[in-house]
Amino acid sequence: MRALAGWLTPLVLAVLAVGLAACATLVPSPRPTGAGAGDPLAAWHRILHTHVLEDGRIDFVGLRQDPRDLEAYVAWVAIHGPRATPELFSTQAARLAYYINAYNAVAMYQVVRPRTGPSNGFGSSCSPRW
């Protein structure tokens, strides 16, 4: 029985890894337009004050109706960061804030971005439609 468990665990992990990789998608960076295109940090500030409610929930309906500020900030995140532009992130706090804000912005963008392109072949289990 131990011999079976010895090779079964790596096999299960490999199948799981392949399955998760099949569900992963690369999200192209948006092209910013509108007010957020000029100052992406101000755009992120507007998003936080306009679309994040007092109890911490996010107004995804409002973001979906006007995603320009979010698109501008995500486009900025795609080309800036502690490695690409270290002069903008000189302190540990600035780097941490960048990573937290970048994660949150990209997660929000994944929810509100338009769903276009070919199917990945795995149906709704890998590409939810909200």
| Per-residue pLDDT tens digits for 68-124 | 999 999 999 999 999 999 999 999 999 999 999 999 999 999 999 877 665 555 554
pLDDT band at residue 31 using 50, 70 and 90 as cut-offs:
low
Domain range summary for the chain, segments of one domain joined by +: 2-26, 35-112
19-23 long-range contacts (CB < 8 A, ≥24 apart) are 22/120, 22/122, 22/126, 23/120, 23/122, 23/125, 23/126, 23/127
pLDDT band at residue 129 using 50, 70 and 90 as cut-offs:
very low
Confidence (pTM): 0.66
Share of the chain above pLDDT 90, in %: 56
pLDDT for residue 130: 45
